[in-house]
């Protein structure tokens, strides 16, 4: 089976983990954590990093630190992984869903303002499948309406918007280091910010709300959202390879584009697009199966699986899921979600693998092609 994602771990990850184990510092104290925080923050062009146990709690921590609570509304794209919306719900706030941009699938900035109410406190743009959001437009809306911006960059380590790294725009940005992410610590996450006060608040909230100068004195109710030294040990080794991974992902995307362009010309599929202002890191290389193809997206997925190729459907839009269901129609996201497939995108994928996958897709779609 060619997997849809696979971590790329090497000798240095192992060496660092052994060092952490031998030192005895295996919980959330130890030299690797601060080093990882500092280096990852610097990589993204931010001053402070607060490492967490996963990306979901990074989002929760960011929202809490910004004071989001009961009765507040937070704008999120409807097409994202459920964690973005859940983190808002954990704060007893309401996620308000916005439709996708038809070209690059992230939140459509032109659809944000109509969703702003007096209760709106923040926007969470999600750099979906490795493609950056249009941050100039989003930051301008946030400034005009006095809203916080929390970037959800879980899927976009190393991506750039107009030459600046994603994660360097919002009040706080959040990353995931889950096993299928561009760099991984197994489970793990991080919040980045340039605001010292927010960083300190997040550190306190991450550690049960404990006063940093008075042990077991808890001024506020916090959480245990800490990352372990062993996770950070892996993260430091992974971070050294991030640029190499990004280039590999972009090469894989280029190979897919070349191999599948005929299908796009026949309008059977739509390829993953990179906007002129974006450097997409193609966390997952994606295609949309057009209605013109005589096979459904789900049947294509099934047939590829029979050929030993693992793929994934796109996320469901949040507004159709039972916890968030409403009568609203967000047609662009609904359409993209129905048609989208994540193709195998692991950095270990070879040119031959991409060829095999592309030939399999071409074979299945052409078999069902009735011509114009």
Binding residues for ligand PLP (CB under 6 A): 54-56, 80-81, 83-84, 126, 152, 154-155, 176, 178, 189
- The radius of gyration of the chain's CA atoms, rounded to the nearest angstrom, is 21
- For the chain, the helix, strand and coil percentages under 3-state DSSP, each to the nearest 5: 40, 15, 40
The secondary structure element, H or E, covering residue 231 is helix 229-240
Q: Which residue is nearest to ligand PLP (CB)?
A: 55
In whole angstroms, how close is the CB of 79 to ligand PLP at the nearest point? 10
Say how far apart CA 261 and CA 266 lie, in whole Å: 9
239-267 b/e with 16+ CB inside 10 Å = b? bebbeebbebbbebbebbbebbeebeebe
CA 186 to chain centre: 15
Instruction: Choose between 284 and 365: whose C-beta lies nearer to ligand PLP.
Output: 284
Instruction: Choose between 227 and 268: whose C-beta lies nearer to ligand PLP.
Output: 227
The secondary structure element, H or E, covering residue 75 is strand 73-77
Indicate which residue of 181, 248, 249, 339 is catalytic. 181
In whole angstroms, how close is the CB of 127 to ligand PLP at the nearest point? 8
Q: Which strands form 189-193's sheet, in the order they lie side by side?
A: 48-52, 189-193, 172-176, 148-152, 120-123, 73-77, 94-98
Active site residue 248: no
Instruction: Choose between 98 and 268: whose C-beta lies nearer to ligand PLP.
Output: 98
Instruction: Choose between 25 and 283: whose C-beta lies nearer to ligand PLP.
Output: 283
Question: Are residues 114 and 120 in contact, defined by beta-carbon separation less than 8 angstroms?
Answer: no
In whole angstroms, how close is the CB of 152 to ligand PLP at the nearest point? 5
Instruction: Choose between 152 and 334: whose C-beta lies nearer to ligand PLP.
Output: 152
In whole angstroms, how close is the CB of 17 to ligand PLP at the nearest point? 19
Instruction: Choose between 46 and 269: whose C-beta lies nearer to ligand PLP.
Output: 46
Sign, CA dihedral 153-84-290-109, equals negative
How many degrees, rounded to 5, is the angle at CA 344 between CA 182 and CA 87? Answer: 50
In whole angstroms, how close is the CB of 332 to ligand PLP at the nearest point? 18
Say how far apart CA 336 and CA 237 lie, in whole Å: 36
In whole angstroms, how close is the CB of 99 to ligand PLP at the nearest point? 17
Query: Can you say whether residue 197 is alpha, beta or left, with left for phi > 0 and alpha for psi between -120 and 50 degrees?
Result: alpha
Question: Which residues does the annotation mark as catalytic?
Answer: 181
């Amino acid at each position: 089976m060619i997997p849809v994602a696979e971590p790329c771990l090497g000798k240095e990850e192992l060496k660092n983990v052994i060092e952490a184990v031998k030192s005895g510092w295996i919980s959330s104290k130890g030299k690797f954590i601060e080093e990882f925080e500092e280096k990852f923050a610097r990589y993204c062009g931010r001053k402070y990093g607060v490492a967490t146990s996963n990306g979901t709690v990074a989002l929760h921590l960011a929202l809490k630190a910004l004071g989001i609570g009961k009765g507040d509304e937070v704008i999120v794209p409807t097409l994202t992984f459920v964690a973005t919306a859940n983190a808002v719900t954990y704060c007893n706030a309401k996620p308000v869903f916005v439709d996708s941009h038809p070209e690059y699938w992230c939140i459509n900035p032109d659809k944000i303002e109509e969703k702003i109410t007096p209760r709106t406190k923040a926007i969470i743009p999600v750099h979906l499948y490795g493609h950056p959001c249009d941050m100039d437009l989003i930051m301008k809306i946030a400034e005009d309406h006095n809203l916080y911006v929390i970037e959800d960059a879980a899927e976009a380590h190393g991506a750039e918007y107009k030459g600046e790294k994603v994660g360097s725009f919002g009040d706080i940005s959040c990353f995931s280091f889950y096993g299928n992410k561009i760099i991984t610590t197994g489970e793990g996450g991080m919040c980045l910010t340039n605001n010292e006060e927010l960083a300190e608040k997040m550190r306190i909230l991450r550690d049960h709300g404990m006063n940093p100068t008075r042990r077991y004195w808890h001024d506020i109710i916090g959480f245990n959202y800490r990352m372990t030294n062993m996770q950070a040990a892996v993260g430091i080794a992974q971070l050294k390879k991030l640029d190499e991974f990004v280039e590999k992902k972009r090469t894989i995307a280029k190979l897919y584009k070349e191999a599948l362009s005929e299908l796009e010309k026949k309008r059977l599929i739509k390829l993953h697009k990179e906007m002129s202002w974006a450097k997409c890191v193609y966390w997952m290389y994606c295609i949309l199966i057009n209605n013109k193809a005589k096979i459904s997206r789900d049947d294509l997925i099934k047939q590829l699986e029979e050929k030993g190729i693992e793929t994934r459907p796109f996320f469901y839009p949040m507004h159709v899921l039972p916890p968030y269901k409403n009568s609203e129609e967000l047609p662009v996201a609904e359409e993209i979600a129905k048609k989208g497939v994540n193709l195998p995108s692991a950095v270990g994928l070879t040119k031959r693998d991409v060829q095999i996958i592309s030939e399999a897709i071409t074979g299945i779609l052409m078999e069902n092609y009735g011509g114009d």
